[in-house]
Amino acid sequence: MDVVEFAEYLVKSIVVEKDLVKVSLFDADEDITILEILVPESEMGRVIGKNGKTSSAIRTIIGAYAAINKKPKVKINIDSF
């Protein structure tokens, strides 16, 4: 399982509208990749959580997953559409 699939799995386990979650990976540098997570506006509250704790946990878990699997450092952007 790569980082994109893992991020999709994490976010889809939190939201109600699982089919509308989109995760894209972009290469910024040799040692940094950008992971963009798009969720519907109605689901942003679930993904961000109180005081941003859920989004912080998502970033930590994905970063740890990337490090364990010897992937480049991941910068995560969470946005809505």
Count of the separate structural domains present in the chain? 1
Q: What angle do CA 17, 7, 31 make, to 5 degrees?
A: 150
* For range 47-55, the mean pLDDT: 96
pTM: 0.91
pLDDT one-digit tens code per residue, 26-40 = 987 778 999 999 999
Residue 35 sits in a domain whose CATH number is 3.30.300.20
* For residue 23, pLDDT beyond 90: yes
**40-75 core/surface letters (b: 16 or more CB in 10 A; e: else):** beebeeebbeeeeebbeebbeebbebbeeeeeeebe
Q: How confident is the prediction for the chain on average, in pLDDT? A: 95
State the pLDDT confidence band at 81, using cuts at 50, 70 and 90. very high
pLDDT at 52: 96
Enclosing domain of residue 55? 3-80
SS3 state of residue 10: helix
